[in-house]
Structure 1
Amino acid sequence: MARLDVPTQVHDAVAPIVHDAGLFLEDLEYLGSGPTTTIRVTVDLPEDVSGPVGLETISSVSRDLSTALDSVSVLHSQYTLEVSSPGTSRPLTQPRHFRRNVGRLISVKTVNGERFTERLVEVTDDAVLFDTRRHVALADIRRAKVEVELGRVELVDDNDFQDVAGADSGRFDDSED
């Protein structure tokens, strides 16, 4: 049996941990060698789950990945492990990227040079649909990215908030003593 190369062994150690955490392995980079080795792992939620990957999830996966990578015998020296999620600056290049961003405002440049920014409402395997009923084939999109909407207030259900025990006991009374 041929000896697996280092990047393959790193992938084989990383992939099951990411999967077991309920995440998608978006990218894995193995850079350098010796004491300057950096292993960059980019994880994302599955395409049918909305929202960002939480920091606690990233932290937990980082610990598990570090433990697993420490047991990879071909990593003889120290390495730097970087675990992150793609973030909003990631270009949308695959159908799963678009699916993860349904409901978000997307800036698009098509292969014919047309530019527009509209809200993404639906994604198929080969096309996207925007809230203006504009239908664009994925093959016709040169660049697409999420536009961050800092001022947008999402509809929030009161059940989304957690009451802190005793929080009401410290309220100030507007009446005078």
Structure 2
Amino acid sequence: MSTTQSERLRELLEPLVTSKELDLEEIEVTPAGKRRVLRIVVDSDEGVLLDTCAELSREISDLLDARDTMGEGEYVLEVTSPGADRPLTEHRHYVRATGRLVNFKLAGGGELTARILKTDDEGLDLEVPGVKGRKPTARRLAFDEIDKARVEIEFNRRNSAAGAEGAEDAKAEEA
């Protein structure tokens, strides 16, 4: 049974990443001129600090140097956390996005922008913002109704507790 390079890399790197209490979200190998770029995306419920990415990058580099997983040729290693606007594809992504405003592309067509209030195994409890002075409304959305979902970046959120948290998140992302 043949395995792809990404599968072999995941098999090699996942134990190291999970030992740091991180999730291995993505592995991507792309050509860049005469070299390749190996991009490793990690995340956790608490987010990922720049120092954690740097430490993990050194450990991954040492591990790859000790094995022949990348084969011949030069490559650039990039260890990063997902961007703020990355797609939500796993249950844990929705849990981590609780309190955030999310744009949903619905499976039956249409679009919805709402704040995630709660996530369970079947779906999401949402708050749909009111339009033109109207009050927000509650809505339940099952996972099978979601085609795509992406966190919306908010710069001027008025909710005090969540707004302070969002401001901290924005500052951390800028760093």
Q: TM-score range by the shorter chain?
A: 0.7 to 0.9
Give, in angstroms, the shift of residue 90 of structure 1: 1.1
2:58 to 55, 58, 63: 63
**1:10–1:72 CA contact under 8 A, matched in 2:** no
- Can you list the C-alpha shifts for 1:63-99, whole angstroms capped at 9, x where unaligned? 1111111111343333211211111221112222111
Query: What is the TM-score when the length of structure 1 is the normalising length?
Result: 0.73
Q: RMSD in angstroms over aligned alpha carbons?
A: 2.9
Give, in angstroms, the shift of residue 7 of structure 1: 4.0
Shift of the 129–4 alpha-carbon distance from structure 1 to 2, 3 Å rule, reads closer
d(CA) in 2 for partners of 1:110, 1:3: 36
Shift of the 3–88 alpha-carbon distance from structure 1 to 2, 3 Å rule, reads closer
- Can you list the C-alpha shifts for 1:34-58, whole angstroms capped at 9, x where unaligned? x62332211111xxx24x3111111
> What amino acid maps onto 1:86 in structure 2?
P
Which aligned pairs between 1:1-177 and structure 2 lie closer than 5 A? 6-31=5-30, 36-45=35-44, 49-50=45-46, 52-74=47-69, 75-131=71-127, 132-152=137-157, 154-155=160-161
**1:58–1:84 CA contact under 8 A, matched in 2:** yes
Query: What is the TM-score when the length of structure 2 is the normalising length?
Result: 0.74
d(CA) in 2 for partners of 1:122, 1:41: 29
- Secondary structure class of the residue paired with 1:22: coil
- Secondary structure class of the residue paired with 2:138: coil
> What amino acid maps onto 1:76 in structure 2?
E
Shift of the 127–72 alpha-carbon distance from structure 1 to 2, 3 Å rule, reads same
- Can you list the C-alpha shifts for 1:152-174, whole angstroms capped at 9, x where unaligned? 365369xx9xxxxxxxxxxxxxx
d(CA) in 1 for partners of 2:144, 2:99: 21
Give, in angstroms, the shift of residue 30 of structure 1: 3.3
- Secondary structure class of the residue paired with 2:11: helix
Unaligned residue ranges in structure 2 (runs of 5+): 128-136, 169-175
Unaligned residue ranges in structure 1 (runs of 5+): 161-177
Which has more strand, going by share of residues? 2
Instruction: Give percent identity, aligned residues only.
Output: 32
Give, in angstroms, the shift of residue 8 of structure 1: 4.4
d(CA) in 1 for partners of 2:59, 2:40: 12
Give, in angstroms, the shift of residue 117 of structure 1: 1.6
Shift of the 4–110 alpha-carbon distance from structure 1 to 2, 3 Å rule, reads closer
Greater shift, 99-108 or 35-44, is seen at 35-44
Larger Rg: 1
Give, in angstroms, the shift of residue 114 of structure 1: 3.1
Which has more helix, going by share of residues? 2
Aligned length: 153
